[in-house]
Chain A
Amino acid sequence: KVKVSPRTSPANQIKQGDRKREKGGWNIKKESSSHLNLKTCPAANSCKNKPIKLISYENNMYHPQPVRKFSALEAQKVMRSVLEEKLKHVRYDEKAGARLTVDLAESVKDAVRALGYERYKLVCYVVLGAVRRSEISCCSRSVWSPVSDTYAEYCFKNDSLFALCIVFAVYYE
């Protein structure tokens, strides 16, 4: 028996059992084609006898653009009504201020959510403070898709307090 020393890589290694001595020399046993996946075979598409399979998009989760774009104007109206209703006759109080701010943020978020924009994630940010002679400067920037994402803001002010509310609407692409 002739021992074949493996010089090729394991993937290409031909097992001794694959060689059959036939008349005329050694022949490597050919692999059968039954294990080949005919769906991935490039020739399958050109075969006219095969039925064409239609691809359905029922489970497609990718919607790059929103069906109904978030309207900043509509959101601003809602925010205005919520803030005015909640803060009309309220005076600034340090102890109650923290609770009031959280309550406002949640109310505005719920109200904007009720507008029913699909696939929009919402971030509602509220800043509340006392009206004094000092100044406050607020700035925001974002990295998002300008086609689908936007923001709405409203600043409420009375004699004793101010409340700035911003809602960012980010589309879930």
Chain B
Amino acid sequence: CEVRFAGFELSFLFNAEEASDMVKECIEGVIGRVDYNHNQVNQWTAGIVEQSLTQLVKLGKPLKYIVNCAVMQKSGAGLHTANSCFWDTTTDGSCTVRWENRTMYCIVSVFAVAIAL
């Protein structure tokens, strides 16, 4: 997977590293030790996204969050994701976490958009 950043300024409001660590914990909490299961995958994606969102909101920053999760079964096929954003690079930011285990890939993207204060 290739993720390309449009700009090089880092947001002073959104801490990508911190968000990335939190998301990794959420992923491992939900699908850390399981194999791909067609019946449960919808619950998993919803669970990962909801937990990540709850943790992010607890940080108490003046940001709106969008969290997106894609889980794909491993079958030899490739998967590409990309994002392009029109925002203020000094306050807004994103982070993408890639995770995999024996049977599936998981990609979570977090977008944080500031509100005017």
Judge whether B79 and A129 touch: CB under 8 Å.
yes
Chain B residue with the shortest CB-CB distance to A98? B2
Judge whether B4 and A121 touch: CB under 8 Å.
no
* 21 A-B pairs whose Cβ atoms sit less than 8 Å apart in the complex: A62-B116, A102-B82, A102-B84, A109-B84, A109-B85, A109-B86, A123-B66, A123-B83, A124-B85, A126-B80, A127-B70, A132-B76, A136-B73, A136-B79, A137-B42, A138-B45, A140-B49, A141-B50, A142-B53, A143-B65, A144-B66
Chain A residue with the shortest CB-CB distance to B111? A123
Q: Which of A98, A105, A113, A125 contacts B68 (CB 8 A)?
A: A125
A124-B84, A127-B80 known; 7 new pairs, CB 8 Å cut-off, are A98-B82, A102-B4, A105-B82, A134-B77, A136-B79, A140-B49, A172-B116
List the B side residues contacting A98 at CB < 8 Å.
Answer: 1-2, 80, 82
Given contacts A134-B74, A144-B64, contact A139 B87 (CB under 8 A): no
Judge whether A140 and B78 touch: CB under 8 Å.
no
Q: Give the distance in Å from the alpha carbon of A137 to the alpha carbon of B40 in the complex.
A: 10
Judge whether B116 and A143 touch: CB under 8 Å.
no
List the B side residues contacting A145 at CB < 8 Å.
Answer: 64
Q: Give the distance in Å from the alpha carbon of A141 to the alpha carbon of B55 in the complex.
A: 13
B88 on the interface (CB 8 Å rule)? yes
Chain A residue with the shortest CB-CB distance to B53? A141
Judge whether A101 and B116 touch: CB under 8 Å.
no
List the B side residues contacting A104 at CB < 8 Å.
Answer: 82
List the B side residues contacting A166 at CB < 8 Å.
Answer: 68
Q: How many residues of B contact A (CB 8 A)?
A: 47
List the B side residues contacting A109 at CB < 8 Å.
Answer: 84-86
Given contacts A143-B53, A144-B64, A168-B66, contact A137 B84 (CB under 8 A): no
Given contacts A61-B116, A173-B115, contact A129 B82 (CB under 8 A): no
Name the 9 nearest CB pairs between A and B, nearest first.
A134-B75, A139-B45, A105-B84, A140-B68, A98-B2, A101-B82, A101-B80, A109-B84, A134-B73
